[in-house]
Structure 1
Amino acid sequence: MLAGAGIAGTAGAAHADGKATVADCATAWGSLTKSSSAPGTTPLRNIRTGANTCYDRIVFDIDGATAERGYHVGYVDKFQQDGSGEEIPVNGGAILQIFVHAPSYDPYTGKPTYGGKGGQSLPGVDLTGYKTFKDTKFGASFEGQTQVGVGVRAKLPFRVSQTTDKLIVDVAHTW
């Protein structure tokens, strides 16, 4: 199942029975915080997810982005809304907090570009059948960056990558 069409990829090959082995899905990604301080002012337009043989994926579509985008991704004990500090409950065995340097509004007009609401699940994201992702929550869009919490089954390895208009976070199903 790949709900994030257009962003296909594999960390390992599937066998004839359609199942991957732990060796097929081996990663060297690690679970430590990953970040980039690259600036960004173009707005976020969508957040979507996809399930893959070896990992679950969350994609941040950024309107008109053409360069590297700043981000900060790491595990936290509590998901606290940026700006207010209010705790937002996130289901799962661990919480992956993602900040992307892209506001969910047009910085020139203030008009919303993404419909996320603080403390609520991400609009249009259905995690039924996912192996690693258990929950998603929108934190805030504050001072030019957007915050999202992803509830995962356990503290698993993850990687962050980018294309010209996307920030992509993959969380492995296993170590």
Structure 2
Amino acid sequence: MTEKTPTDSRTSALDGVVTQARADLAAGREWKARDRLVAHVASTYDQEALGLLGEVHATMRDLPSAGAAWFGTNRRGSDVDDAVDAWRDRHADNFVQMWHSLPRSVREHEGNKRVDALRRRVEKDQPAVGIDAAEGDGEGGVDAAVIIAVAVGILLLACAVIGFVTLLGWLIPGL
């Protein structure tokens, strides 16, 4: 009987994700394979899973997402070039948006020349902010805290106006 080391268990778990995703694909459940792989590569840098994720996105005709997945791998070819071009086009070559569209594990992994070059470009474009300080700002949406602050401000202003009118009613009878 052979004893499994923690590394063996981790490797088999990683292999399991890719195997399950391939089974999902074979069963015609591209969406399930995509969700499984996205969850996996969010926390684990796995070139095989990223490559398969790119293939799934390409199968689902989401070329920009395929480009983002393949950008984090060593995979090359005209299909990869087309997908990366579509990814760049989706973000209009906004390097900060492109950076944040990559899975976290790809952004944290060093050693991929293309990803490292993008990291340097983002750091150059946003030296004061840094590449991780603007997490989630890539889409240009409004922060929920701003919406809440504005709502509370409007509520306080309404209360102040009502209080002022009530005070005037007390001071000036018959108003």
Q: What TM-score comes out, normalization by structure 2 length?
A: 0.23
Question: Of the two structures, which has the highest relative contact order with CA contacts closer than 8 Å and spacing of 6 or more?
Answer: 1
Q: Name whichever structure is richer in strand by fraction.
A: 1
Q: What TM-score comes out, normalization by structure 1 length?
A: 0.23
Greater gyration radius: 2
